[in-house]
Structure 1
Amino acid sequence: MTRPDSTALRHGLADCLEQRGVLRTAAWRKAVQEVPREQFLRSFFKDAPGPDGHLRYTPISPDTDEDEWLTLVYRNETWVTQLDGHLTADTADGPLTGFPTSSSTMPATVVGMNEALDVEDGMTALEIGTGTGYSTALLCHRLGEDNVTSVEVDPEVARRADDALETTGYSTWTVTGDGLLGHPRRAPYDRIVATCALRRIPYAWVRQTEPGGIILATVGPSAWSYGTGLAKLTVKDDGTAEGRIIGRTSFMPARAQAVVPLSGDLAARAAYADSERKTSLSPDTLDDWMPAFLAQLAAPGAQLVRALGDNRETVYLFDARREAFAALTADGDQWNVRQGGPVALWDAIEEAVTAWQKAGEPDITSVRMAVTPDAHAYWIGGQQITDDRRSYWLGQKEHVLRWKHPHPPLTA
């Protein structure tokens, strides 16, 4: 069998991305054709369900099967590169379980975001989340290595990425640190792009972006693997940024904003409710992308957990920071909801999702947002007008959904 040729595979990947409508410009196509992804994926994990239904991660590298390794590298797939914050494929022995903590995102997502940046020659870019370094290399190819700065929070991941970038000829500015702080030393930047999911876009990024510059980042639930949107914001002269969600996307959460999965006796945590009532809104609605996004706007920080007990399912929502919960169980065609704590989580979610349904269930791309020094604001419908004294709305106000979230502490 003839060993797959990397050059041919790179061209094949570019063809695939162009056919999907992701790759649209000649400059980014050239980057995809010339940056060797295999240099950034010397080893990774391939996942498959195990006999118990849980995913098993099998190490893949040139040592296991060189032909399979290279072929998989150039698939339009996301490959996990680290489990549980420390385990990498080159140190793993056989299939194992674990929680993915670093990965090489599928090329369609990476290239699609690069195209959405609307870069021009000579621009500077700050990348939050170096990861394997592949996306960094594409940026370096397009803008020049001196114009790219990349920040990675994990020292070992940063070291591997830096080695791979040096090997492929890109001696760019790689920094180990908390990307939520940006990198003020080389600011201001024309573009900031994040390869991790965020609860909020840090205002530090707005301060470090040139007026007229673009910030591109995934926002939404840090506790869920879906219900997130790709935000594209333009920084204005007044020190704020405004834009909209341009589509669905999914990334691992930023380390500083990741939450610990709930465990223990969930029923005991929800034993004492302040209220109980019926709801016609099924929690299954939150399995869909847009309702999940809305739920996290209405009840930021809430985690959703499904549990089986006494031959019936209970759907829990917990907000540990605000010490609030909602527990839903099926009762015929309706659901029974018990709520406790200082905020009624399900009331807020029900109100948001119901209003969205009455407005005709607009797509996630209908969501607009703004970042100020104090808060994030999201809205759907109408037009927000702001002057020095007040903020008001034009359009069909009864269909306007809006939320304002103060910036949380970086360690929240």
Structure 2
Amino acid sequence: MSDMSSERQALAARMHEAGVFAHPGWRRAVEAVSRELFLRPGVFVPDTAGRWSPVPVDRISPALAYSDQSLVTQLDNALTTEDVTEAVCGAPTSSSTVPSLVVGMLGKAGIERGHKVLEIGTGTGYSTALMCHLLGAEAVTTVEVDPDVARRAREALGAAGYAPRTVTGDGLLGHPERGPYDRIIATCAVRRVPDTWLRQTGPGGVVLATLGSWPNGAGLLRLTVRENGDADGRFLGHTSFMQARAQVPPPVAGDLAARTAEADSDRTTDLSPSLLLGGGMPAFLAQLTVPGSQVIRASGLGTVLVDAERGSFAQLLPAGEGWRVRQSGPAALWDEVEAKVRAWRAAGRPGIGSVRLRVTAEAHVYRIGDHPALRWRH
């Protein structure tokens, strides 16, 4: 048995011990699909200086290829290991996601033989291959927005012996030509569930996606589509995925210092802005409350919550034992966040599994239990 093969079997065994597999078919898929084929032309690994060091595919060790970790394959929407020879700075924009997370999501989506599946975000194609192994390639459609990423995934899938329908385009639009689907699964994060996904899912079908727009605090959502096209569901846990490119908030134009120079209100709060950055329920609630916002930390400006689309900001600065809050624009962003977090605390700090969502053509309606202050819509 080759080193790659033995490491693949070992990864499957570890995932089995951890209870990752919803049924034995997924273990067989992990044992059969060669992850190294989906790491071409190579991966980037972080160094101690906060940069990314390139590791060409022929230097990827079996232990790295079958480690249960995310392996970055692209930086800044363009760079691959073919483009650089030394460590570089950049933001990851494509990766081979943690295998146990991928397989766990496939199980949580309830994917079974006989299902027709649409995958949003092909990425490297590894998760696509796992579904092809279980369902047969003819049952799988996958959409990738980045042409270069899509090309590499298509080549890797072919090398692995799979030929699903691969589409280059905006995954938020789905792929109606092959619908309706029994399952839609997204490997990118979205701020809102596109109504196109609901329209392309048959009654009783499931949409599984990550909802959230910040690096920390997003949630894994499972929705069941009803006969009338609405969908109901709940959050299964905290997770993190790269944002769907079409839903990345627009860059904050101009000088942040100039943007925050004048405020409509100025008050104090005992809630720390760290709740926006620390993950967990506070960050999760905050981003669902002000979903178009970005969190920016800038020297001398403290922590700034900016909603460029609504022209609003909330700036938090240290003030004694608390914080000073300066706000401006049509939306009082911190007031909205603060009210939600305080209501959540007063309700006993329920976990993410208590958050329900109904999606209609008009709105996303969230609720936590029967608390009036913990029911809101966007």
Please give the range of the TM-score, normalised by the shorter of the 2 chains: over 0.9
Gaps of 5+ in 1: 383-396, 406-412
Q: Deviations over 1:53-108 (max 9, x none)?
A: xx211111244x3xx53320100010111111111112221111111111111101
Q: CA deviation at 1:24?
A: 3.5
Q: Spell out, residue by residue over 1:168-205, the C-alpha distance to the aligned partner (whole angstroms, 9 max, x if none).
A: 11011000010000000000000000000000110110
| SS at 1:76 equivalent | coil
| TM-score (structure 2 length as normaliser) | 0.96
1:328 — aligned with what?
Answer: 316
Residues 250, 308 of structure 2: 8 Å contact kept: no
Specify the SS of the correspondent of 1:300: coil
Aligned partner (choices 288, 307, 312) of residue 297 of structure 1: 288
Per the TM alignment, residue 263 of structure 1 is displaced from its structure 2 partner at its CA by 7.4
The code of the aligned residue for 2:331 comes to V
Instruction: Specify the alignment match of 2:376 in structure 1.
Output: 403
Alpha-carbon distance between aligned partners in 2 of 1:376 and 1:71, rounded to the nearest angstrom: 43
- Give the AA of the match of 2:15: L
Distance in 2 of aligned mates of 1:97 and 1:314: 24
- Which position in structure 2 is the counterpart of 1:355? 343
Q: Over aligned residue pairs, what C-alpha RMSD do you find?
A: 1.5
* 151 and 271 in structure 1: CA distance in 2 versus 1, 3 angstrom threshold: same
Deviation of the 1:20 alpha carbon: 2.1
Corresponding position of 1:13: 11
Q: Deviations over 1:221-261 (max 9, x none)?
A: 2xx21110000000111111110000111100001011355
> How many residue pairs were aligned?
376
* One-letter amino acid of the counterpart of residue 294, structure 2: Q
Equivalents in 2 of 1:245, 1:73: separation in Å? Answer: 30
Identity, in percent, stands at: 54
* Alignment partner, residue 114 of structure 2: 122
Q: Is the 8 A contact 2:215 2:240 kept in 1?
A: yes
Q: How does 1:9-408 map to 2 (within 5 A)?
A: 9-42=7-40, 43-50=42-49, 55-63=50-58, 65=59, 68-221=60-213, 224-260=214-250, 262=252, 265-286=255-276, 287-309=278-300, 314-382=302-370, 397-398=371-372, 400-405=373-378
Rounded to whole Å, the distance in 1 between the matches of 2:182 and 2:101 is: 21
- Distance (whole Å) between structure 1 residues aligned to residue 90 and residue 32 of structure 2: 34
More moved, 262-271 vs 289-298: 262-271
Distance in 2 between the 1:374 and 1:32 partners?
40
By how many angstroms is 1:278 displaced? 1.2
Query: Which amino acid letter does the alignment assign opposite residue 288 of structure 2?
Result: L
CA distance in 2, matches of 1:336, 1:48: 37
Instruction: Check whether the contact 1:4–1:70 (CA below 8 A) recurs between aligned residues.
Output: no
Q: Which runs of 4+ in 1 moved over 6 A?
A: none
Give, as a single letter, the amino acid of the residue that structure 1 aligns with 2:232.
Answer: E
Aligned residues of 2:232 and 2:357 also touching (Cα < 8 A): yes
